[in-house]
Amino acid sequence: MTEKIGVLAKKSAPRTGVERVVNAPLPTVYGPFTAVGYLDHDRGDEQVALVYGDLGTEDVLTRLHSECLTGDAFGSQHCECGDQLDSALRAVVAAGSGVVVYLRGHEGRGIGLLGKLRAMALQAEGLDTVEANVALGYPVDARDYGVAAEILRDLGVRSVRLMSNNPRKREALVRHGIQVAEEVPLLIPPCENNITYLRTKRERLDHRLPHLDAVAHWS
C-alpha cells in the first residue's frame, strides 16, 4: 500500500520548466512564420516563438522581445518597442531564417501593465523611467531571460546573433548556456516623445544607443 501511495504522489508532482504545447502556421505581413507555443510551468506564463525558415543550430538571428502592449499593439511613441518588433521580424525574413521569442510577463521591464502605466504617469510629471520604478517600489528591471534560453534550446539553437542594444540580454543568455556569436544593433530613429526615455536607457541602463548623438539638439 505504501509503495502505491508513493507512485501516485510521484505521478501528481507538478511539472516545472518550459513545455512546447503547439506549432501553428502563422502567415503575416512579413512572411510565413511558425508560431511555437510554450507553457512556462514555473511562472504560469504562455510564451511564443515566431520561427522563420530553417533555424539550424549555430549563429541563429534572434530577437528576445519583451512584451509591450502599449508599443507593440497601440503604437505608443513613449518607447521604441513596436518599431523594434517590426524591424526584427523584417530582419529574420530578409536573412532567410531566424526567431523572435516574444516574452510574456516582461511588460514594463517586468512590473506588469498597471505598474508600467503608473510609472509612465510619474514620468509625465518629470521622473525618468528608473526613478519612476524606484518611487513605486519596483525593481529597475525585473525581467528573467531563463525562459528564453529554454525555448531556444528546445528549438535546437546553441548560439545566436542577438538583435539587441541591451548588454544584459547577452549576459543572461550566456549565463543560461546559449552562446552569443554576435550582437546586432537594433537602432530605431528617435522622436521627441521618446528621446528622454532613450537617453535614460543609455545613461542609466547601459543600452548601446550611439545614434542618439545625432539628436543632441533635442532637450
DSSP codes joined into one string, 112-165: -HHHHHHHHHHHHTT--HHHHHHHTT--S-----HHHHHHHHHTT--EEEEE-S
- Angle at CA of residue 160, ends 155 and 166, nearest 5°: 120
- Which residue among the candidates 63, 83, 141, 161 is catalytic per the annotation? 141
C-alpha cell, 101: 521569442
Sequence-ordered strand ranges (E) for the chain: 18-27, 32-40, 46-52, 60-66, 98-103, 159-163, 179-184
Query: Is 143 tagged catalytic?
Result: yes
Q: Is 15 a catalytic residue?
A: no
The one catalytic residue in 63, 109, 118, 143 is 143
Q: What phi and psi, each to the nearest 5 degrees, are found at residue 96?
A: 95, -15
Calculate the alpha carbon distances from 152 to 62, 72, 90, 158, 172 in Å. 9, 22, 20, 7, 13
List residues with catalytic annotation. 141, 143
